Amino acid sequence: MNDNATWMQRDLTSLWHPCTQMKDHETLPVVPIRSGKGVWLEDFEGKRYLDAISSWWVNILGHANERINERIKSQLDTLEHVILSGFTHQPVIELSERLGRLAPEGLGHCFYADNGSSAIEVALKMSYHYWHNQGRPEKRRFLTITNGYHGETLGALSVGDVAIFTDTYRSLLLDVIKVPAPDGFGLPRDQWVEQARAAFAHMEAALERHGDELAAVIVEPLIQCAGGMRMYPPQYLTWLREACDRHNVQLIFDEIAVGFGRTGTMFACEQAGVRPDYLCLSKAITGGYLPLSVVMTTDEIYAAFYDDYSTLRAFLHSHSYTGNPLACAAALATLDILEDDDVIATNRAKSARIDQVTAPLREHPHVGDVRQTGMVVAIEMVKDKTTLEPYDFRERRGLQVFQHAMSRGAMLRPLGNVIYWMPPYVITPEEIDFLGAVTREGLEVATGQ
Bridging pattern class, strands 40-43 and 33-37: antiparallel
Does 374 show up as a binding residue in the annotation? no
Q: Judge whether 398 and 404 are in contact, CB under 8 Å.
A: no
Q: Is 383 annotated as a binding residue?
A: no
Answer whether 88's CB lies under 8 Å from 333's CB.
Answer: no
**Rounded-to-5 percentages of helix, strand, coil across the chain:** 45, 15, 40
Amino acid at 139: K
The response to whether 319 counts as a known ligand-binding position is: yes
Q: How far apart, in whole angstroms, are the C-alpha atoms of residue 127 and residue 16?
A: 34
310 labelled as ligand-binding?
A: no
The response to whether 283 counts as a known ligand-binding position is yes
CB contact at 8 A, 49 and 35: no
Distance CA 125, CA 159 (A): 13
Is 54 labelled a binding residue? no
116 in a known ligand binding site: yes
DSSP three-state, residue 288? coil
Please answer whether residues 4 and 45 qualify as being in contact, where contact means their C-beta atoms are separated by less than 8 angstroms.
yes
Sorted by sequence, the CB contacts under 8 Å of residue 304 that are 6+ apart come out as 130, 133, 134, 313
Residue 318 is assigned to a ligand binding site: yes
Beta bridge partners of 176: none
Q: Is 254 annotated as a binding residue?
A: yes
- Cα 308 to Cα 112, 314, 317, 353, distances in angstroms: 23, 9, 17, 57
Q: Where are the alpha helices (DSSP H) in 314-396?
A: 325-340, 343-358
Is 149 among the annotated ligand-binding positions? yes
Q: Residues annotated in the binding site for pyridoxal 5'-phosphate, as ranges?
A: 116-117, 254, 319-320
Q: Residues annotated in the binding site, as ranges?
A: 56, 116-117, 149, 254, 283, 318-320, 413
Q: Residues annotated in the binding site for substrate, as ranges?
A: 56, 149, 283, 318, 413
